[in-house]
Amino acid sequence: MRHPVRVNGRVVGVVEGERLLLRRDPARHFYRRQPGWAISSEVLKQAEAFGARVVEVHTPGVTYTAPLAAFKTHGVPLHHGDRQVLLPVHHWAARMRPVQLGLEIAGSSDAETARAAGSAPRP
């Protein structure tokens, strides 16, 4: 079962089974002063209520995984607009995922690009 996780009415993630799934841009969401991922306390609270036991942060090319309990035992409280808990990077497991690249040919239309890639029949 999927449960949306909301902050201020906006869906920021989803709990699927025992996993809290979050999609994040490292340029905007990775904390650099003390390297790690910071998650809103409200998000963690909702995820736990929905039965999550693992947090997965999906970024382009890498999925970071950590036990939800680690935020209580090793988390560092932060106050950046809302209350957050930072879990330092050494508590996360990182798994590389293949990045799918699009084919773009300079000066061609989308149809020409698709034909060149072999995915569209010729008219």
Residue-wise pLDDT tens digits, 43-60: 999 999 999 999 999 999
Q: Quote the percentage of the chain above a pLDDT of 90.
A: 68
Torsion angles phi and psi, residue 74, rounded to 5: -125, 0
**Residue pair 41/68 in contact by the 8 Å Cβ criterion:** no
Q: Dump pLDDT digits (tens) for 87-99.
A: 999 999 999 977 6
Give the residue among 63, 53, 59 at the shortest CA–CA distance from 28.
59
3-class secondary structure, 24 = coil
Please state the rounded mean pLDDT for residues 29-38: 92
User: What gap in Å lies between CA 3 and CA 20, rounded to an integer?
Assistant: 9
Domain boundaries, the chain: 2-116
Q: Please give the structure tokens belonging to residue 99.
A: 């990045």
Name which of 1, 6, 11, 86 is nearest 46 in CA terms.
6
Query: ∠ at Cα 93 (35, 81), nearest 5°?
Result: 40
